[in-house]
Amino acid sequence: MLSLDSETLALARTVWDYHHVNHTLEPADCILALGSHDTRVAERAAQLLLGGYAPLLVFSGGLGRLTEGLFAEPEADLFARIAREMGVPPDKILTENRSTNTGENIALTHTLLQRHGVPVRRMILVQKPYMERRALATFEKQWPGGPVDIRVTSPQISFEQYPTAEISMAEVVHIMVGDLQRIMVYPAKGFQTYQEVPAEVQQAYGSLVAKGFTQHLM
């Protein structure tokens, strides 16, 4: 079993902090919530719509690596149901439930918005905390429409409080390390925009890989 001692947790917290982009939110044309195993993303997106940040909420996601077998329905459908239960009117919700990765989330959402005649100049993107930066980089590279002012946010929760009964702290660290690898590798593949990775974050990444947190590496 991998150690989660104080040194390991400090390294992981460095990576966690890097994944956050710390955007200030402003009113937008729509909110896009990307599906995942974490239903707190749906709750955060619903809270933003109910708070007046946008007139439309889009949920995007089919079943992915972490949700196939966990959910009985596509991520977008489950997230939409959570939003409705929180008081979001059904006519304020659109769903895209076929995508299986972030690039497909973005491309299929663009198609969905075009089909409904929704122009987008400003968007709030809601993701898991450790995927804020990668979601931003993917959107910047792969959004097929014109320029969009994109602001990224996530459930407002600390690193220590993030693990759940379904996703342990060790699993969170594995996933964060894998996402950081993709941030460093994907720009050369044309999947994302380049994101500077400070030396201390690179060092934390290398140390966590050496400690065995490699399950989500490519």
Q: What is the pLDDT of residue 69?
A: 62
CA–CA dist 86, 52 (Å, integer): 14
Reported as a single tens digit per residue, the pLDDT across 104-159 is 999 999 999 999 999 999 999 999 999 999 999 999 999 997 889 999 999 999 99
Work out the average pLDDT over 43-62: 97
Question: Percent of the chain, pLDDT > 90?
Answer: 83
Q: What is the pLDDT of residue 67?
A: 52
Q: What is the pLDDT of residue 3?
A: 86
Helix (H, G, I), strand (E, B) or coil at 205: helix
Work out the average pLDDT over 202-211: 98
Q: What is the pLDDT of residue 196?
A: 97
Q: What is the pLDDT of residue 83?
A: 98
pLDDT confidence of 65, banded at 50, 70, 90?
low
pLDDT confidence of 100, banded at 50, 70, 90?
confident
> How much is the pTM?
0.92
pLDDT confidence of 74, banded at 50, 70, 90?
confident
Q: What is the pLDDT of residue 26?
A: 97
Helix-strand-coil percent breakdown of the chain, rounded to 5? 45, 10, 45
**C-alpha dihedral sign at 182, 183, 185, 187:** positive
Q: Is the pLDDT of residue 27 over 70?
A: yes
Q: Is the pLDDT of residue 207 over 70?
A: yes
pLDDT confidence of 70, banded at 50, 70, 90?
low
Q: Is the pLDDT of residue 72 over 70?
A: no
Angle of CA points 142, 83, 65, to nearest 5°:
50
Which domains does the chain carry?
6-210 (3.40.50.620)
Question: Percent of the chain, pLDDT > 70?
Answer: 95
Query: Between the CA of residue 152 and those of 4, 34, 45, 51, 137, what are the distances in Å?
Result: 29, 11, 11, 16, 10
CA–CA dist 192, 184 (Å, integer): 9
